[in-house]
């Protein structure tokens, strides 16, 4: 570990002390020697996995995870929560598991990143790093839809970051009278979880069908197609949602929303207006704010990276993983973030040891639930070829599948969730 300077390490230790972690048992031994210092910003699917797998590969590396919240609420499987199929409590994870691996967890908001001086700033102190991992998720473009700003999310939720937003939308749907109308505004590409809005629409339609049969969901979409398109369309047909409980309005039929009025709960498209009882707006997205503070986002709002290592092409020793990265060929999903984290972790360890990065391998599988016991999936295995992330195999579950197949996929969705959450947080 010749590259590491004692100076950067001592500063990191100072940073930890500054935020008052003196009582944290794991902190002192891991930063007491001349060790490489890795800082991970964001303790979600990407960041928590990266922290864990760096420690797993080399316990001698000192890892500090900076995460603003004490608990993490998983977006995956938060859609069933919205319709009472699932408790929000099942979505909640803490950081005790990571601390057991010897990771120092600091609950602070990162307010500045200086990639030249290799320093990260929070309200509590300044941290120096040898390697920095950024996995801050997404942030929202609040200037894209007139009237939809941060204040509006209090009543017109996005529920695209799980937690309090999930609870508000769940309660609104629960309180809605039978015979009510709900509007879901879908986002333009690229966005976190491409099938997510349509899984949400399916489950709301299921809820209306079984609990409030005079109600209807209108999905306004700025696109004409979306992920798992055929499987969703045929599912909506087979499950009896289409037309009756669920109406999807594509861009070509005027689905693009231009303005909202939170005071009257009205949504405006170029030709129409919809007054609704419940409105859910999934806004256009860009990289997490920290990526902009660090200067590693491009003019499209995402972070270009080297596909072999996930190191930023805009700043040395900074690795951007998860939704924020511009990882062409991979979806913005939790599984992809987990997979990217392992690639970055291996590349960071190799680099600290002065070795070339190993060949990356990426896997993504994504399940969507359309009704209880009705799951569909898409899979992807990819690697690096000619400098690009290239698909080796994968694809969708078959259009014509038996009920047993759909049932298995629904239960595999739950299994996936249990496995990946433990892989990330335990």
Partner 1 sequence: MHLNKKSLLAVAGAMIAGGVAMNADEARADMASGLAMANTCAGCHGTDGMANGPAMPNIAGQPANYLIPVMKEFRSGERYSTIMGRIAKGYSDAEIEALSKAVAGWKWTGGAENPKLAMKTGETIAMVKPALAAEGEKLAKEMKCTKCHEDGGKSTEDDMPRVAGQHLDYLLFKMEDYKDEALKMPQPKKMKKRMDKASAKELEAISHFWAANK
Ligand X SMILES: Cc1cc2nc3c(=O)[nH]c(=O)nc-3n(C[C@H](O)[C@H](O)[C@H](O)COP(=O)(O)OP(=O)(O)OC[C@H]3O[C@@H](n4cnc5c(N)ncnc54)[C@H](O)[C@@H]3O)c2cc1C
Interface residues toward ligand X, by CB under 6 A: 41-47, 66-69, 72, 75-76, 78-79, 109-110, 135-137, 160, 192-193, 196, 288, 290, 322-324, 332-335, 337, 366-367
Question: Is residue 66 close enough to count as binding partner 1 by CB under 8 A?
Answer: no
* Cβ nearer to partner 1, comparing 37 with 382: 382
Question: Tokens standing for 393?
Answer: 């195999």
**Cα distance between residue 424 and residue 416, in whole Å:** 12
Residues 6+ apart with CB under 8 A from 187: 197, 222, 282, 283, 284, 285
Which of the listed partners (ligand X, partner 1, none) does 264 bind, with a CB threshold of 5 to 8 Å by partner kind? Answer: none
> Residues 36 to 55: which contact partner 1 by CB under 8 A?
53
Binding residue (CB under 8 A) for partner 1 from 170, 335, 351, 352: 335
Dihedral sign of CA atoms 396, 399, 402, 406 in order:
positive
Q: Is 382 helix (H, G, I), strand (E, B) or coil?
A: strand
Rule CB under 8 A: is residue 393 a binding residue for partner 1?
Answer: yes
Instruction: Give the residue carrying structure tokens 């069933």.
Output: 80
Taking every pair of Cα atoms in the chain, the longest distance, rounded to a whole number of angstroms, is: 69
Burial of 192 (C-beta count, 10 Å sphere; 0-12/13-18/19+): buried
Residues facing residue 184 across a β-bridge: 219, 280
Cβ distance to partner 1 smaller for residue 189 or 415? 415
According to CB under 8 A, which residues from 225 to 254 bind partner 1? none
Which DSSP symbol is given to 277?
Answer: S
- Least separation in angstroms between CB 96 and partner 1: 13
Neighbours of 139 (CB within 10 A): 20
Q: Shortest distance, CB of residue 329 to ligand X, whole angstroms?
A: 15
Three-class SS state of 227: coil
Token pair for 32: 């007491």
Closest CB 365 distance from ligand X, rounded Å: 8
Q: Between the CA of residue 246 and those of 117, 229, 242, 365, what are the distances in Å?
A: 53, 15, 5, 26
How far is Cα 356 from Cα 21, in angstroms, rounded to an integer?
35
Q: With binding defined as CB under 8 A, does residue 383 bind partner 1?
A: yes
Instruction: State which of positions 70-129 bind partner 1 (CB under 8 A).
Output: 77, 80, 85-87, 89-90
The secondary structure element, H or E, covering residue 407 is helix 403-425
Residue of closest CB approach to ligand X: 44
192 binds, among partner 1, ligand X, none (CB under 5 to 8 A by kind): ligand X
Q: Count of residues binding partner 1 (CB under 8 A)?
A: 56
Of residues 245 and 335, the one with the C-beta less far from ligand X: 335
Q: Smallest gap, in angstroms, from Cβ of residue 418 to partner 1?
A: 4
- 314 interacts with, out of ligand X, partner 1, none, CB within 5 to 8 A per kind: none
Q: Is 405 in the site for partner 1 (CB under 8 A)?
A: yes
Q: Which is nearer to partner 1, 193 or 297 (CB)?
A: 193
The side-by-side arrangement of strands in the sheet containing 119-122 is: 110-114, 119-122, 125-128
Q: Can you give the binding site for partner 1, defined by CB under 8 A? A: 53, 77, 80, 85-87, 89-90, 335, 338-339, 342-343, 346, 356, 358-363, 365, 369, 372-373, 377, 379, 381-385, 390, 392-395, 397, 404-405, 408-416, 418-423, 426
């Amino acid at each position: 570990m010749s590259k590491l300077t004692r100076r950067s390490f001592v500063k990191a230790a100072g940073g930890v002390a500054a935020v008052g972690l003196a009582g944290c048992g794991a902190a002192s031994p891991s930063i007491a020697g001349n060790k490489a210092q890795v800082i991970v910003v964001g303790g979600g699917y990407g960041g928590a996995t990266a922290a864990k797998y760096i420690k797993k590969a080399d316990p001698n590396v000192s890892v500090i995870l900076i995460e603003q919240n004490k608990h993490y609420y998983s977006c995956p499987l938060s859609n069933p929560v919205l319709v009472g199929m699932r408790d929000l409590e099942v979505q909640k994870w803490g950081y005790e598991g990571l601390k057991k691996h010897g990771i120092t967890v600091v609950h602070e908001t990162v307010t500045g990143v200086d990639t030249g001086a290799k320093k990260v700033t929070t309200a509590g102190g300044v941290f120096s790093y040898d390697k920095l991992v950024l996995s801050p998720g997404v942030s929202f473009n609040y200037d894209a839809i007139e009237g939809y700003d941060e204040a509006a999310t209090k009543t017109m939720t996005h529920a695209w970051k799980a937690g309090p937003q999930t609870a508000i939308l769940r309660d609104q749907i629960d309180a809605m009278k039978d015979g009510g109308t709900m509007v879901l505004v879908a986002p333009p590409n690229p966005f976190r979880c491409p099938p997510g809005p349509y899984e949400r629409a399916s489950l709301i339609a299921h809820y209306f069908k079984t609990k409030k049969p005079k109600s209807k969901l209108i999905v306004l979409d700025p696109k004409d197609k979306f992920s798992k398109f055929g499987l969703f369309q045929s599912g909506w047909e087979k499950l009896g949602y289409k037309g009756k409980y669920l109406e999807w309005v594509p861009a070509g039929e005027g689905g693009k929303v231009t303005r909202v009025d939170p005071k009257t709960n009205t949504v405006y498209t170029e030709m129409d207006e919809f007054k609704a009882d419940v409105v859910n707006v999934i806004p256009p997205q860009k990289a997490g704010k920290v990526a902009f503070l660090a200067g590693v986002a491009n003019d499209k709002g995402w972070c270009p990276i080297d596909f072999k290592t996930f190191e930023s092409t805009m700043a040395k020793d900074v690795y951007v993983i998860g939704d924020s990265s511009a990882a062409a060929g991979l979806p913005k999903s939790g599984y992809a973030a987990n997979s990217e984290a392992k690639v970055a972790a291996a590349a960071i360890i190799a680099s600290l040891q002065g070795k070339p990065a190993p060949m990356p391998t990426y896997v993504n599988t994504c399940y969507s639930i359309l009704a209880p016991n009705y799951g569909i999936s898409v899979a992807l295995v990819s690697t690096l070829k000619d400098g690009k992330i290239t698909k080796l195999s994968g694809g969708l579950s078959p259009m014509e599948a038996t009920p047993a197949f759909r049932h298995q996929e629904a239960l595999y969705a739950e299994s996936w969730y249990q496995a990946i959450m433990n892989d990330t947080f335990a």
